[in-house]
Structure 1
Amino acid sequence: MWFASPPNYVKTGLLPDLTAGLTLGILLIPQAMAYGLLAGVDPVYGLYAALVPMLVYALLATTPHVSVGPTALASLLCLNGISGIAEPFTAEYLGYVIVLAGLTGVLQLAFGLLRLGGIVSLLSRPVLSGFVSAAAVLIIVSQVDTLLGIETAGGGYLHQTVLSLWDGLSEFHLPSAMLGLGTLLLLFAAKRWLPAKFPVMLVLLILATLLVSFMGKGWGVKTLEDIPPGLPQFTLPGVDAATLRQLAPVALVMALISFVETLSIGKAFVHKHGYYRVSPNRELMALGLSKIAGSFFLAIPTSASFSRSAVVEGAGGKTALSNVTAVVLLLAVLLFLTPWFYYLPVSVLAAIIIFSVRNLFDLAEMKRLYHLAPKELSTLLITFFFTLFAGLQYGIAGGVLLSLFFVFWRAARPHLAELGRIPGTNAFRNIQRFEGAEAEAGILIVRFDAELYFGNAEYFRDQMEVKVQEKGNSLRAVILDGHTINDIDTSGIFVLTGFLDMLEKQGVELYFCGMIGPVRDKLYQCGLMERMGAERHFLSIQSALNHISGNRDDRGWDLPAVQHG
């Protein structure tokens, strides 16, 4: 089904969808303007980004609860990636921003058409958590000057921004600081004491705007001033090869992060609702087309919003109609209400940004990894600090490379265990983990828990040779439990053949048990099966032991036969 909807939707879902859409629109308006400022453009372009991209995505996606539009992370990536090329809040800068949105969409559309939805696996959870947590810190710190009414030079890195804030801290503007800090305190108080559906952001925006309007411009508070009314005009982005080369790295990072965010949100909700399925490749195409369409209508880069999607789901939204309703509300605002934003103080928008991104800092994940997986915590922290002090693009690239390094390291050093019998059973367990497991006299039983391929073949040979040497001259047979060897390549076959040669020179026999069909096929094809003889291949360790002991009729089927552990 193209538009997923629950059973009896017409009777029970239409009104909740409209309510969720209105709630989403009320939350979206202040956030969109705030994230426009964060991206380094006038606030109206944040509103534009909440218009066409959200509509296109809603009509094409498989996830009816996900809300797409301007987000803090996408805006920060945009600012960080383009501020070194052009000055923010200039026409040249805006041109780069629009091209970046379109280029990100083209990459996502291409990934979707090529069925590359699996690229999400490039970002492990610790890498993503470290990156997003660092981005939250950068966003919050970048908004402190606006919150306090300080004029700073800013900077692309954490230390530069902090130093700029320190230099200008003595010159903060008291009325702006009072408005910004007061708004922030009221947002936290409302979070604790008011219902979740109460439009506290919109109410505070209205009150702050009325207050500044009453006090007049002489108060010295910086406001949005003129917001152009009407809808965005159709415009062809100015694209050339040099611009594309400059923007390609940040576009690739943004495409990946945006997809991961969207898929994570969609999968979080799909488990609560059984009437739709998330299709990664279709999500990629929907995201890509939404960004491409938005770039023709002056939209800044967009992504899926955790907070707004939660509002849609929590307010009872069921289908794409909730997002479409929010688009209609936004159209009304752009057509009729933009003059009302003239006296809206930017320090209040900074407070909204800080409040909105506070939960992106994932302290709970850090604590969990500290107790559960210290190595993965190191990946998170390296990504976190690399992002803070080297930049967003390099932070995510470093995190991905670090994750791949650990993947290859684990693949090259898989688990290899010597097995022993649990007394009274045919169960064979790792003698290092089970104190009662007894090694068979003169026999080495080994389980290798991975495919045997070029990445770990040398490690396998070295470990097997060490274990053979430890057994000494008493060793007369080696049994390789192959239940967990799910594949073997030519490098693995070469090493296995060399190991067999070594054992034959020492007068030790090699036996295989539990080899799965695809592995046995390759052993036949390479001639190793014929060389060893079919009598050295068994279904279970116990059968191999019976053969070695000469008692080939007693299979021991009356005892529990469990080979793994």
Structure 2
Amino acid sequence: MKLLKKLIPILEWLPGYKKSQLRGDIVAGITVATVLIPQGIAYALIAGLPPIYGLYAALMPQLMYAVFGSSRQVAIGPVAMDSLIVATGVSTLALIGSESYIAIAILLALMVGSIQLLMGLFRLGFIVNFLSRPVIIGFTSAVALIIGLNQFRNLFGVEFLQSDQVHILLEDIINRISYFSINTTIIGVIACIIIMIFRKINKKIPNALIVVVLGIIVLRFFENYFLDVAIVKGVPSGLPKFTIPIIDIALVRELFPIAVTLVMVGYLEIISIGKTLEAKQDEYRIRPNQELVALGLSNIVGSLFQSYPSTSSFSRSAINEEAGGKTGVSAIVSVLIVILTLLFLTPLFYHLPKTILAAIIIVAVFNLINIKEAKRLWRANNLDFWLLIATFFSTITFGIEHGILIGVGLSLIVLIFRTSRPYVIELGKVPNSDFYRNKHRFNEVVTDREVLVFRFDAQLFYANSNYFREKLEEMVEEKGKTLKLIVLDAESINRVDSTGIEMLKERIKYYNKRNIAFYFAGVKGPVRDAFFRGGVLEVVSLDHFFMRANGAVNFFKTGDNQNQKKYAQYIHQAYD
């Protein structure tokens, strides 16, 4: 039963559901639905799909996540970023809005879900750890800018190009901006202002719903004055039918890079949102691999009911938590309201101006451009700042797909750089104590010309073994001909590979020939085992392993230490 609860988290919280939670969940579900419905219609337009598909993407994915998701407050459904990625990928394979375009978008949801499910089942959630926070922020900010600029076509009523490369967008906007529709622009700009005012007053106010209702009323009763304003027109009623997507192997190959991008972006979003919400309560904990399973099932089942790829929404998740949502019941309430809308209310959206939808999207996504974090990184960490900037400009220049790949590549390069050049420092003795500390941070520490005690702050492996050797040679050269003892404080070394061991053995032999002893201090058990298996005891005595650097120096100075003999015996017994 415990395993079943872990696989299906709803079984964990539903049996203990409290009546006191119901009111908050119902209010949160209604509030999220009032935001989700206009957003769903808007995001479907970004994806190049008919508006109804935005509502389809708000049904089964939400329901499946409520059952299988480890977070009880994350809101699933159509989002702006995924919608643009879908448009970018699918528009190269079919005409936007055509039957084949819709079929490909639905197949993409099935592919994304399958990859996510397999990653979750095989516990591959750690892969996303290779995307650092600066890369995520740079990528998210760039995509937000791309999405916003793409919506200028609806905001101004001009058929600008759709692209995920900002320079192409800006060039087309500059060349054709003079053809803008005055009425369309006025309605769109006023909607933007209203949304921003309501957001400043109180974020709980359903600003998207308010501008949608106002827009429909204006166009419904004053249609003759706004003939040039594009409206949504017919949104069909009814629930999505169960259909199995047509699987074409050649098409699957074409879509695979886009699917992987959507998997990475979707997982990053849900983990970052889930962790943020998790920190605000003590009821549950996010399980990354379970989130992949939940997202996978949401997209797979969603694709069977005509949904395009969906993931978690930053704004709707925050609204859900702020409105009092505590469990997945709020998502179920939200689904019921979307069902009622699909069955009875879609005709009301006939007169909805597309410029209103553009306003909703533009205000929402431009808030994702994180200038504050870039400023903070500039002060805190220059390398992370340039990583963010490089990812941002790569994405807006080369497009979303290449941007995420460049971001991953840069993250790996920075990771390799940092692990291949870790912190290496000489330690000095704190007066009247047994402790050794960084000589550059503690001015009062004492160093000895005959002794070099140094610390290596990383695992020792093939990527940094040469760096270890170079830094050691520099410190030895600085000590000069008076040096008689080298002590490696290995407390910070948590792993070592064969390359690192062979380099150590070679260095020990070299310094022994120069009559310089080589001792180890603070070696962790697993690292010590690796040393012994690698043959370190062939070049150094077991007596030369110490608990602390101070013990190593004392042993060298006095030539005898009862405690060290006991420690050597202890190690010998443990090794045997």
Structure 1 length-normalised TM: 0.95
For residues 12-55 of structure 1, give each alpha carbon's deviation from its aligned partner in whole angstroms, at most 9, with x where no partner exists: 11121111111111111100000000111111111111111111
Q: Is the 8 A contact 2:242 2:305 kept in 1?
A: yes
Contact 1:386–1:395 (8 Å) recurs in 2: yes
Residue 400 of structure 2 corresponds to residue 392 of structure 1? yes
Contact 2:43 2:54 in 1 (8 A): yes
SS of residue paired to 1:197? coil
Q: 2:216 aligns with which of 209, 229, 242?
A: 209
Q: Please, which of 171, 174, 183 is the counterpart of residue 175 of structure 1? A: 183
Contact 1:5 1:276 survives alignment (8 Å): no
Shift of the 86–488 alpha-carbon distance from structure 1 to 2, 3 Å rule, reads same
Cα distance in 1 for partners of 2:151, 2:98 equals: 19
Alignment correspondent of 2:325: 317
What amino acid is the match of 2:144? A
Q: Distance in 2 between matches of 1:47 and 1:416?
A: 57
Instruction: State whether residues 5 and 275 of structure 1, in contact with CA within 8 Å, keep that contact through their aligned partners in structure 2.
Output: no
Match of 1:27 in 2: 35
Q: Is the 8 A contact 2:88 2:163 kept in 1?
A: no
Q: Any residues of structure 2 matched to 1:441-452 within 5 Å, and which?
A: 441-452=449-460
Shift of 1:523: 3.0
Q: Do the aligned residues in 2 keep the contact of 1:6 with 1:275 (CA within 8 Å)?
A: no
d(CA) in 2 for partners of 1:6 and 1:96? 37
Aligned residue type for 2:353: P
Q: State whether structure 2 residue 154 is matched by structure 1 residue 146.
A: yes
Structure 1 unmatched ranges of 5 or more: 557-565
Aligned counterpart for 1:199 among listed residues 178, 198, 206: 206
C-alpha distance in 1, partners of 2:506/2:500?
10
Aligned residues of 2:235 and 2:349 also touching (Cα < 8 A): yes
For 2:387, which of 369, 379, 382 is the aligned residue?
A: 379
Q: What SS class does the counterpart of residue 459 from structure 2 fall into?
A: coil
In the TM superposition, what whole-angstrom CA distance separates every residue of 1:497-538 from its partner, at most 9, and x where no partner exists?
111121122121111222222222233334422542233222
Structure 1 CA distance for aligned equivalents of residues 442 and 15 of structure 2: 53
Give the secondary-structure state (helix, strand or coil) at the position aligned to 2:240.
coil
**Counterpart contact for 1:5–1:318, Cα < 8 Å:** no
Counterparts of 2:340 and 2:88, CA distance in 1: 32
Supply the AA of the counterpart residue of 2:194. Answer: L
1:135 aligns with 2:143: yes
How many Å separate the matches in 2 of 1:259 and 1:283?
8
CA distance 1:50–1:538, shift in 2 (3 Å) = same
Matched AA of 2:324 = G
- 1:432 to 1:350, Cα distance in 2 relative to 1, 3 A: same
Higher mean alpha-carbon deviation, 537-546 vs 343-352, is at 537-546
Shift of 1:192: 2.1
Q: Which runs of 5+ in 2 are unaligned?
A: 565-576
Q: State the SS of the aligned residue for 1:512.
A: strand
Aligned equivalents of 1:551, 1:494: Cα separation in 2 = 28
CA–CA distance in structure 2, aligned partners of residues 526 and 295 of structure 1: 53
* More divergent stretch after superposition (455-464 vs 530-539): 530-539
Distance 1:524 1:122 in 2: 32
Tell me how far 1:8 sits from its aligned partner.
Answer: 7.5
The code of the aligned residue for 2:200 comes to R
The residue correspondences of 1:283-294 to structure 2 (distance < 5 A) are 283-294=291-302
Determine if the alignment matches structure 1 residue 110 to structure 2 residue 118: yes
| CA shift for structure 1 position 554 | 9.2
Instruction: State the partner residue of 1:244.
Output: 252
Q: Aligned partners of 1:520 and 1:120: how far apart in 2?
A: 31
Q: Which moved more, 1:250-259 or 1:523-532?
A: 523-532
Maintained 8 Å contact 1:25/1:326 = yes
Residue in structure 2 matching 1:468, options 464, 476, 479? 476
1:184 aligns with 2:192: yes
Counterpart CA distance in 2 for 1:323 and 1:536 is 63
Q: 1:334 aligns with which of 331, 342, 348?
A: 342
Higher mean alpha-carbon deviation, 281-290 vs 87-96, is at 87-96
Structure 2 counterpart of 1:308: 316
For 1:19 and 1:477, locate their aligned partners in 2 and report how far apart those are by CA, in whole Å.
Answer: 71
Aligned 8 A contact 2:119 2:292 in 1: yes
Q: Which amino acid aligns with 1:209?
A: I
Q: Deviations over 1:149-186 (max 9, x none)?
A: 11223333111111111121111111111111111111
Code of the aligned partner of 1:90: S
Partner Cα distance (1:237, 1:94) in 2:
10
CA distance in 2: counterparts of 1:199 and 1:534, whole angstroms: 71
| Aligned positions of 1:354-503 closer than 5 A | 354-503=362-511
Within 5 A, what are the aligned runs for 1:25-104?
Answer: 25-104=33-112
Paired letter, 1:201: A
Q: What is aligned with 1:512?
A: 520
C-alpha RMSD of matched pairs (Å): 1.8
Structure 1: distance between partners of 2:297 and 2:563: 63
Looking at structure 2, the residues matched to 72 and 232 of structure 1 have their Cα atoms a distance apart, in angstroms, of 21
> Is the Cα contact below 8 Å between 2:461 and 2:496 reproduced in 1?
yes
1:240-279 equivalences under 5 Å are: 240-279=248-287
Q: Distance in 2 between matches of 1:534 and 1:554?
A: 14
User: In structure 2, how many angstroms separate the alpha carbons of the residues matched to 1:188 and 1:527?
Assistant: 68
Local SS of the residue matching 2:151: helix
Mapped contact 1:546–1:554 kept (Cα < 8 A): no
TM superposition shift of 1:546: 1.6
Percent identical pairs in the alignment equals 38
Secondary structure, aligned partner of 1:20: helix
Alpha-carbon offset, residue 482 of structure 1: 1.6
In 2: Cα distance, 1:8 partner to 1:54 partner: 21
Q: Which amino acid aligns with 2:427?
A: L
- The normalised TM-score by structure 2 is 0.93
Moved more, 354-363 or 395-404: 354-363
Tell which deviates more after alignment, 408-417 or 457-466: 457-466
Aligned residues between the structures: 555
Distance 1:197 1:483, change over 3 A: closer
Q: Is this contact kept in 2: 1:542–1:555, CA < 8 A? A: no
Aligned-pair distance for 1:141?
Answer: 0.8
Bigger mean CA offset, 10-19 vs 348-357: 10-19
The one of 522, 537, 550 equivalent to 1:542 is: 550
Distance 2:163 2:473 in 1: 57
Distance 2:522 2:346 in 1: 72
